[in-house]
Copies of this chain bind each other. A is one copy, B any other.
Amino acid sequence: MSTPRRSARAHTAVLDAASQLVLEHGYGRLTVDAICARSGVSKATVYRWWPNRAAIVVEALLESVQPDVAYPDTGSLREDLVGQATALARALAAPGLGGTLVALLGEARDDRDLATALRNGWQEPRRAAGREVVRRAVRRGELPADVDADLVLDGVYGPLYLRLLFGHAGLGRDEVQRIVDQVLDGCGGGHRAG
């Protein structure tokens, strides 16, 4: 019962190559063969550790983006939300990430593992952090105790992803602010109370 001793070199080379290639040509034009060529890792090895192209990309994506979407703790719910959501919007607007994420979400409809990876690896950590932010605000009295944190978060991030999907409106700090204001007003935490 020996743990497979996967080669760290090959592993990171694949993820790096995938990240680069997605940036250069977009997810749609990403090819496992190209990843192999760029990384110097053989196809057999790639397929030993990942079931398909999407799995490689989620792993690369989660690894690279994880750190830089932490919530600030400004003492004001409004500021916290606007800060994080603006950072997220900026990240998603960058050439590689937004498009890749949407494409992955599209594929995830036919790929249960991918869907799980995205929910657990991308969505859930952010959401957990968001719930904590909301809880802090409740403790500070900015929101009523019976507020539904998930509804608040959906209210903020929903419009953000919607605009990412259809691209029908911008996502600068101003737009994000107005979204957050509308949500906070709607759930009893009007920003004037900040």
Contacts and interface: CB of A to CB of B under 8 A. Distances in A.
Interface of A: 26-29, 98-99, 102-107, 109-110, 115, 118-119, 123-124, 127, 148, 150-152, 154-155, 157-163, 165-169, 178-179, 181-188
B187 A119 contact: no
Contacts of A106: 102-107
A109 B115 contact: no
A181 B188 CA distance: 12
Contacts of A154: 158-159, 162-163, 169, 179
A81 to B, nearest CB: 13
A99 B103 contact: no
Contacts of A186: 155, 181-187
A139 to B, nearest CB: 21
A107 B118 contact: no
A166 B119 contact: yes
Contact of A159 (B155, B182, B187): B155
Contact of A187 (B160, B163, B182): B182
